[in-house]
Amino acid sequence: MKLKFHLALLSIATVAPLVTFSWMALHDLRQSEQAALHARVFTATRSLANAVQSDVGRAEAALRVLAASSSLASARYEDFRMQALAARVAPENWIVLMDSAGHQLVNTRLSPGEPFPASGAPPNFGELLSATDVTISGLVVGQITKRPQIRLDVPIRLPDGQTLLLTSALSADYFQRLLTDAKLPSEWLVGVFDDKGITVARSHRAQEYVGKPGGKVLLEAARRASEGRLSTVSREGIALHDTFVTIPRLNWVIANGVRASDLESASLKALRTATLGMVIAVFGSFCIALWLGARLSRAFGQTARAAALMGRGELPRFDKSHVEEFDLLQQQLEQVHADLLDERVARQGVEEQRQALLLSEQAARQLAEQQNQSKDEFLAMLGHELRNPLGAIRSAATIANTDRAKPEARSFALGVIARQADHLARIIEDLLEVNRVLRGKITLRLEHLDLAEVVQAVVASTRTAGRFERHEVQVSIAPAFVLGDRTRLEQVVSNLLSNALKFTPEGVLSRWR
């Protein structure tokens, strides 16, 4: 097979998987975009349901607060009217107070002094008076306003035996305003339905459908589950992907529909466009591979003839191949011998440099290992040294905290604690100077001191720590003045004494001189 056919197969083998996986990726992207849109719709629907539930809950809470007002028992209805005006949750909310005969006593929709309507009691007035808690209605038409509204009623039983009915009415326009304030996309079809399936608010054609039953398929699905998604047809005959959420306690349903055409058309159009582009890309790459293969074959043949001439020691003559890379290759062939010589010299220099770097690396590694070993030895010694002062401090603290301890014993114990605390401070100071330890430079604090005092202090600390319980130790010391570091000498004597106690059998007399 000639080069051009190899290039053609290479282009097909390269583009075909790319096209396949790109199409699969676009399909997955289409699915993920739809899922993201559904999730966005779900979020918006839940948010709207929470807003409706919150607002109805605020109206209910305000109603309960008003029902406990002291103005009702004293019949100060003007004061109660001012309280009711302040308790409204929205301009579309008004509050009415009626007596047991259905006559209005307070109505926040009316101006002060304006006469009350002759009759405005709801048809179920008696049931509302006998209720024991707040009653929340579905969408009803007001007796006086003749407009759709939501009622919240609570009976109030006064101490004198009188029963009143307090009502908080929310106009359907209030829920319609909630849909507007939510600023949802204009193409979404949003509806609010009460517990009987009656439309309370609607984002499209609200004047026509508010107060009428919602779609049966949607409402039946909402009765079976608190939230979900399904495909329905709106009352205008539009195919929708509906998302619904049921509001607890109210049993209201918030539905949010996205047109099926809007959900699928954009992604399908993008998928078709991408598929067409992939087909064109495959065909174009095949044609370009054939054309390039022909040019490259001519350039390869010319270069091969020139290389053969150079092998016989002749100076090759090149013709322009009009391929930049091959023209450059042909120019470099003329200088191949000189380049090989230069490369041999450069390789020797690189090898020498590599050997120098290897020796430097080995020396650095050896130094690092030595420093690491010094650190490990110091930390092991430090851990061993910390046990003795800590044991002496713990035993001395026990003696000092004993109520029966004599002043001399307490004073001795405090002295032990002070000395061992200084000892610990020195050890911790050494720990903080790890850098100096790694370099093998530990500072000694030299002073003139009596070695007998050092031995006596170590023996006393060890005895206070209770380590002589199984041994009998006799100490015979004489003054010996030296120039040394007290802490280091105490560490040496403590290590010697610890090893003697550790390796001397019980009952054997140990003498220190």
Instruction: Answer whether 487's CB lies under 8 Å from 445's CB.
Output: yes
Residues 450 and 419 in one domain: no
User: Any bridge partners for residue 94, and if so which?
Assistant: 169
DSSP secondary structure letters along 395-407: HHHHHHT-TT--H
Provide the number of structural domains found in the chain: 3
Flag whether 291 is in a domain.
Answer: no
Report strand pairing: 135-141 vs 104-107.
unpaired
Q: What is the mean pLDDT of residues 70-96?
A: 90
Q: What is the end-to-end Cα distance of the chain in Å, rounded? A: 101
Q: What is the pLDDT of residue 262?
A: 67
Angstrom distance (rounded) from CA 482 to CA 437: 25
| Mean pLDDT calculated for residue range 237-245 | 86
Please classify residue 475 by burial: count the beta carbons closer than 10 Å to its beta carbon, then call 0-12 exposed, 13-18 middle and 19+ buried: middle
* CATH classification of the domain holding 71: 3.30.450.20
459 part of a folded domain: yes
pLDDT on residue 309: 64
Residue 379 and residue 242 share a domain = no
Question: How does 277-305 read in b/e, with b if 16+ C-beta sit within 10 Å?
Answer: ebeeebeebeeebeebbeebebbeebbee
Residue 488: inside a domain: yes
Asked whether residue 384 falls in the same domain as residue 450, the answer is no
- Asked if 221 contacts 159 with a C-beta cutoff of 8 angstroms, the reply is no
CA 385 to chain centre: 46
Of 99, 135, 150, 92, nearest to 120 (Cα)? 99
- Per DSSP, the residues of 28-48 read HHHHHHHHHHHHHHHHHHHHH
> Domain ends where: 262, 283, 317?
262
Amino acid at 104: Q
Both 217 and 93 in one domain: the answer is yes
The CATH number of whichever domain residue 467 belongs to comes to 3.30.565.10
Q: What are phi and psi of 92, to 5 degrees?
A: -80, 10
Please write the tens of the pLDDT for every residue from 260-277: 776 666 566 666 776 777
DSSP string over 317-342: -----S-HHHHHHHHHHTTHHHHHHH
Same domain, 247 and 375: no
Same domain for 94 and 231, yes or no, is: yes
Looking from the CA of 68 toward its CB, the CA atoms found within 13 Å total: 6
For residue 308, tell me if it sits in a domain: no
Tokens 């041999």, located at residue: 344
Do 87 and 199 belong together in one domain? yes
Per DSSP (E only), the strands in 48-114 are 93-98, 104-107
Confidence of residue 295 (pLDDT cuts 50, 70, 90): low
Task: Report d(CA 129, CA 102) in Å as an integer.
Answer: 10
Q: Give the tens place of pLDDT for each residue, 11-67.
A: 677 777 766 776 676 666 666 666 777 788 888 888 998 999 999 999 999 999 999
CATH number at residue 399: 1.10.287.130
What's the CA gap between 495 and 376, in Å, rounded? 19
Beta bridge partners of 164: 156
User: Residue 149 is part of which domain span?
Assistant: 39-262
88 in a structural domain: yes
pLDDT at 79: 92
Report the candidate in 50, 89, 55 with the shortest Cα–Cα distance to residue 247.
50
| Same domain, residue pair 363 and 506 | no
3-state secondary structure of 137: strand
Task: Compute CA distances 254 → 102, 136, 189, 198, 314, whole Å.
Answer: 34, 17, 11, 12, 90
- Are 244 and 376 part of one and the same domain? no
Q: Are 218 and 255 in contact (CB under 8 A)?
A: yes
Cα(211)–Cα(214) distance, integer angstroms: 9
| 281 in a structural domain | no
Residue-level pLDDT at 296: 67
Between the CA of residue 261 and those of 34, 41, 158, 269, 444, what are the distances in Å?
A: 12, 16, 60, 11, 88
Phi-psi group of 313: left, alpha or beta (phi > 0 → left; psi -120 to 50 → alpha; rest → beta): left
Rounded to the nearest 10 degrees, what angle do helices 407-432 and 451-464 cross at? 110
Largest Cα–Cα distance of the chain, in whole Å? 130
- Bridge partner residues of 98 (DSSP): 104, 165
Is residue 353 assigned to a domain? yes
CA distances from 341 to 54, 307, 329, 366 (A): 87, 18, 18, 38
Fill in the DSSP letter of residue 213. B
Give the mean model confidence (pLDDT) for residues 365-376: 78
Nearest residue to 69 (alpha-carbon basis) of 94, 109, 34, 97: 97
Q: Are 46 and 245 in contact (CB under 8 A)?
A: yes
Domain boundary (262, 290, 306) is at 262
The burial of 51, by beta-carbon neighbours within 10 Å (0-12 exposed, 13-18 middle, 19 or more buried), is given as: middle
Dihedral of the CA atoms 359, 364, 368, 369 (nearest 10)? 10
- Identity of the highest mean pLDDT range in 220-234, 287-301, 429-443: 220-234
pLDDT the model gives residue 30: 63
Same domain flag for 452 and 344: no
Residue type, position 223, single letter: R
For the question of whether the overall pTM of this predicted structure is more than 0.75, the answer is no
Residue 316 has pLDDT above 90, yes or no: no
Give the domain-ending residue among 397, 413, 442: 442
Other residues' Cβ atoms within 10 Å of the Cβ of residue 73 = 12
Residue 334: pLDDT band (50, 70, 90) is low
String of DSSP letters for 478-503:
---EEEEEHHHHHHHHHHHHHHHHHH
113 pLDDT band, cuts 50/70/90, is: confident
| pLDDT at position 501 | 80
Percent of the chain clearing pLDDT 90 (strictly above)? 14
Is residue 74 located within the same domain as residue 162?
A: yes
Cβ contact 494:458 at 8 Å: yes
Write the pLDDT tens digit of every residue in 480-511: 899 988 877 888 888 888 888 878 877 655 55
- Say if 280 falls within a structural domain: no
State whether 258 and 210 are in the same domain: yes
